Structure 1
Amino acid sequence: MKETGVVYLVGAGPGDPGLITEKGLSRLRTCEAVVYDSLLSPRLLDEVPAHCRKIHVGKRAGHHSMKQEEINQLLVELAEKGLSVVRLKGGDPFVFGRGGEEIMALTKAGIPYEVVSGVTSAVAALASAGIPVTHRAVSRSFHVMTGHTLSEKGALPPDFAEFAGLSGTLVFLMGLGNLSLIVKGLLNRGKPGVTPAAVIQNGTLPEERTVRGTLEDIEEKVLAAGIESPAIIVVGEVASLDFSSTLKHPLEGCRIGVTGTDSFTVRLGKQIKSLGGDWECMLSLIIKSHRKDGKMKAAYEKLPSYTWIVFTSANGVKEFFRGLLEWGYDFRSVGHVKFAAVGRGTADELLGHGFCADYIPKKYQVQDLAAGLKGLITGEDRLLIPRSSGGSKELNEILDEAGAFYHDIVLYDVAPAGLETENRAEALRHLDYLTFSSASGVEAFFKEAEEGIEEALAGLKVVCIGDITAKALSEHGRKADMIAGVYSIQGITEVICRDWNEERSQLK
């Protein structure tokens, strides 16, 4: 009989994926099933193991795809199968998260559980908007009420009068639809019309918006601004304060879609995040290795005859050295060889295996790599070029022109692992930029183009890592808006930073 599993009730935080706790992340990284709500960053799901079951239960105001009783039963059933289950909930499991109901069901079934607290939007969204939930001599307390279940046939709950009479900061979660009812209730119970109020939409996220006013005019201002759910209502003197961060990052408020292999998108995503932007993976690519194929076996056997090994990508470096060891060789087999790398990222990967690149072109592109090699090699040199099947033919043309001897061998292919979103067109409409890091990524993106993709792409700027990638994009009828000056992750972020700040300066 299989041992009973365990359920971890994990608070995902207020929306910004960086605000989940380290303990919450550790539970995600080892779970076998994750049951998650809406209003969560999709990047948190990237943390779970590849074999983990992902079950969306769609908890969101007015749009519940699964009833709470069904969620309770689902958690019990998964644990009874012996799985380690994370119940991933927005904010904190106990702040209107119905975590208590889930625990009661687990307890009844004899399922062990653990609660991992999360940062609640009742505090974090306010802080992100520059509103301190308490402030000396202004607010000595704060009180939180759910606004979602506030109205029952247009009536306020019986304890609303006591809540309205409290001093300090009043916070209403999920209450935008009942804003008018809340405002009238507060005014009718003695709150002055000049009491400061604010409404925060998408708190802690790049699309965060804040409207400030008073009880007398907050409804009108919210309507004029077009504020939508999810939103938090704040009432009290602190709502008149603005302690918004004065440290401004180059990509603050910028939303960028990325495409590429997991390794590339994670590294690019970290760079974007460090610059204050937000990113979303729009297409994952996987490496299909050919390092165990006959042609690569023959290349490893002929290593003593080669004088140069030419790498056109970091992936090529990884796959080459994996194959080297798998075929029974070691680093002594390439001790006599010189290495050429197309760019700094490729050279860094090579250095990670203990070898310095002997040649890196000033411009990180294949044609410059080939042109540089043309001036370095002699008729005595023998080149091995292990790379992807989609490698640029310009490398071959330049080397052929120079009369060079080389073996250009397919070491790997790049293929789509799957779309990161069911509705790419809709996801693209929320982005400011979309990046492509390879021609193969462009091809994979357009392979199953859905209706509305062209229109969605017209509403953002497309950034390509180099000319070859841009050429592939143009063949699908879309011209690149920007091409990285340096063909690297840094080059991509630099060109976006420059353009993004030019845009913002024009709006001022």
Structure 2
Amino acid sequence: MSAGKLQGKVYLVGAGPGDPGLLTLRARDLLAVADYVFYDALSASELLQWANAKAQIVFVGKSSGRQAFSQREIEALLVRRALEGARVVRLKGGDPLLFGRGGEEGEALAAAGIPFEVVPGVSSALGAPAYAGIPLTHRGIASEVTIATGHEDPMKPEASVDWAALGGLKGTKVILMGTERLAEICQRLLEGGVQEECPVAAIRWGTTGRQEVRECTLREAASGEFSAHSPSVIVVGEVVKLRNRLSWREELPLFGQRVVVTRTRSESSCLGKRLRELGADVLEIPTIRIVPRPLRDSQRDLIRRLAADFSWVILTSPVGAGLFLHHVFETAGDLRALGKLRFAAVGKATAAAVARFHLAVDRVPESYTTAALADSFAPEELCGSRICLARSALGNKELPASFRRLGAHVEEWVLYDTEPEMGDRTGARGRFLEEGAHWILFASSSAAENWQKLDLRPGKGASSPQALSIGPVTTQALQRLGVVVAAEASEHSIDGLVACLLGLARKEQ
């Protein structure tokens, strides 16, 4: 390493069992600053949305049974990038040191003199049973837990796991990566003394919106009558019976529903989180990329005297609200620059974006549309006043005309442009093409138009989603594009869109 060059560092990070909400705060912080992210197939792909936008994302896991890189090649990559001075995140499903080969990678880094850090993750051995309603221990039923792998190093002369001996132990058995050898493993457990009627659960895609849980007896599993599909966590023990009372995820109102979200990347993440909390399998497929415009010198001069030159600022979106107020604080650096200036906003989300700056919103129309905003003003309120209308380049052209008819002087500030989002970091588009979805949510006309440009059509046999619209303007755009709208939210907000989805999902259950 040349003199003065900084040495990098490698972080062996546990990605958790699948639910993005189970990623640790430390892991998320590291993803945000990493120069490289090497991830495997067991990492929830949604986690990649939190990676540094400039990071190089490299898949090093298995796909269609083939390994992208050998273990030694992965270790060499980690060493090489760290020697170049990079911050490297090695994102591994579950916990990196529990059957994750993180120990081997740590040894390789130590041998090369590379500093590294281990960030533990929630193992699927713990997370999947919890989401399936299976407590691994329970007073009076099981006081011990044994975790074993059903997939060992094929180069070893003999297996390390003595399944018959394991069958002689009390308590719960959790088996990872054992679906291909399930019948053989269960037969050995029977030989070790586990009762034939002992319950078995196979939890596939545990903790995610597509979680599946199948149950049988150990005898059925040993006979080959019962098959589990990878990736599954196998639980053997009497605690499985408690699922009848403790199964909670299947009770969530959107469990079993796959939902496509089409907003900007940041907005999709917020809405996706809410839908996951309701049990949905969410595919975040952003259609819009926000491109902020720099302020002109004349606009910066106006910001310094906003309170003197304007009576109202009109904000029509959360993005516009955030950009406008960031410009105010960046330029003026003081809340007092706003003086007695009043704010009007379209919708609760836009008002909430203003409130995050500790500012009150003076006008929010009952109907969350730009037309309703104009109608909420009386002529005597606006006649002779000056309005700053801050929004996107695609704003409703009728809105400034409506204010001018009321006698106001309107200055339009275009804060940002929108363009189609073509990236697919998380692989959500691929899943949609392969599996389809039950619902697709549209929160703006531009999202609808850009979705149409992507021309994503589910493959043969996959579900075609029903379209839900946030309001009349979006509905009209969808209809112009030839999209059948299954329903329009009665309240034209994200809350209303979620409520609309919940109502339709209940009817179809």
What is the TM-score normalised by the length of structure 2? 0.86
Specify the code of the residue in structure 2 equivalent to 1:449: D
Give the stretch that moved more between structures: 258-267 or 322-331.
Answer: 322-331
Give the stretch that moved more between structures: 473-482 or 53-62.
Answer: 53-62
Partner of residue 6, structure 1: 9
Partner of residue 246, structure 2: 244
Does residue 441 of structure 1 match 2:447? yes
Contact between 1:37 and 1:60, CA under 8 Å: does it hold in 2?
no
What is the TM-score normalised by the length of structure 1? 0.86
Specify the code of the residue in structure 2 equivalent to 1:99: G
Change (3 A) 1:152 1:232: farther
Distance in 1 between the 2:353 and 2:417 partners? 18
Change (3 A) 1:295 1:446: farther
Specify the code of the residue in structure 1 equivalent to 2:496: G
Distance in 2 between the 1:151 and 1:354 partners? 61
Give the stretch that moved more between structures: 80-89 or 308-317.
Answer: 308-317
Specify the code of the residue in structure 2 equivalent to 1:229: S
- How big is the shift at 1:90? 1.0
Contact between 1:426 and 1:456, CA under 8 Å: does it hold in 2?
no
Deviations 1:160-210 (A, max 9, x none): 333343333232211212223223334455544323222221122222121
Partner of residue 19, structure 2: 16
- How big is the shift at 1:387? 1.7
Contact between 2:383 and 2:406, CA under 8 Å: does it hold in 1?
no
Distance in 1 between the 2:452 and 2:152 partners? 44
Change (3 A) 1:251 1:176: same
- How big is the shift at 1:316? 2.1
Contact between 1:134 and 1:140, CA under 8 Å: does it hold in 2?
yes
Find the residue that maps to 1:46 and give its secondary structure.
Answer: helix
Contact between 1:61 and 1:148, CA under 8 Å: does it hold in 2?
no
Partner of residue 180, structure 1: 183
What root-mean-square deviation, in Å, do the aligned CA atoms of Structure 1 and Structure 2 show? 3.4
Contact between 2:164 and 2:191, CA under 8 Å: does it hold in 1?
no
How many percent identity over aligned positions?
A: 36
Change (3 A) 1:113 1:289: closer
Does residue 371 of structure 1 match 2:375? yes
Distance in 2 between the 1:317 and 1:377 partners? 22
Contact between 2:436 and 2:458, CA under 8 Å: does it hold in 1?
no
Partner of residue 351, structure 1: 355
Change (3 A) 1:61 1:21: farther
Contact between 2:133 and 2:248, CA under 8 Å: does it hold in 1?
no
Partner of residue 472, structure 2: 467
Give the stretch that moved more between structures: 70-79 or 214-223.
Answer: 214-223
- How big is the shift at 1:302? 8.9
Contact between 2:384 and 2:407, CA under 8 Å: does it hold in 1?
no
Distance in 1 between the 2:262 and 2:382 partners? 39
Contact between 1:211 and 1:221, CA under 8 Å: does it hold in 2?
no
Distance in 1 between the 2:362 and 2:218 partners? 69
Find the residue that maps to 1:69 and give its secondary structure.
Answer: helix
Contact between 1:284 and 1:419, CA under 8 Å: does it hold in 2?
no
Find the residue that maps to 1:197 and give its secondary structure.
Answer: strand
Distance in 2 between the 1:49 and 1:425 partners? 22
Deviations 1:356-384 (A, max 9, x none): 33322111111111222355545423433
Deviations 1:249-271 (A, max 9, x none): 44445443323234423332343
Change (3 A) 1:457 1:390: farther
- Equivalent residues in 2 for 1:17-36 (5 A)? 17-36=20-39
Does residue 497 of structure 1 match 2:498? no
- How big is the shift at 1:298? 8.3
Q: 2:312 aligns with which of 308, 320, 339?
A: 308
- How big is the shift at 1:136? 3.5
Q: Which structure 1 residue ranges, 5 or more long, are not aligned?
A: none
Distance in 2 between the 1:14 and 1:140 partners? 24
Find the residue that maps to 2:259 and give its secondary structure.
Answer: strand
Distance in 1 between the 2:20 and 2:398 partners? 42
- How big is the shift at 1:230? 0.6
- How big is the shift at 1:77? 0.8
Find the residue that maps to 1:144 and give its secondary structure.
Answer: strand
- Equivalent residues in 2 for 1:390-469 (5 A)? 390-396=394-400, 398-399=402-403, 405-420=409-424, 421-422=426-427, 424=429, 426-427=431-432, 429=435, 431-450=437-456, 452=457, 459-469=464-474
Find the residue that maps to 1:340 and give its secondary structure.
Answer: strand
Distance in 1 between the 2:453 and 2:190 partners? 58
Change (3 A) 1:350 1:100: closer
Distance in 1 between the 2:305 and 2:240 partners? 73
Change (3 A) 1:432 1:151: farther
Contact between 2:31 and 2:50, CA under 8 Å: does it hold in 1?
yes
Deviations 1:40-67 (A, max 9, x none): 2223222333333222112479332211
Change (3 A) 1:187 1:260: same
Give the stretch that moved more between structures: 54-63 or 478-487.
Answer: 54-63
Q: Which structure 2 residue ranges, 5 or more long, are not aligned?
A: none
Distance in 2 between the 1:222 and 1:172 partners? 16
Distance in 2 between the 1:81 and 1:360 partners? 53
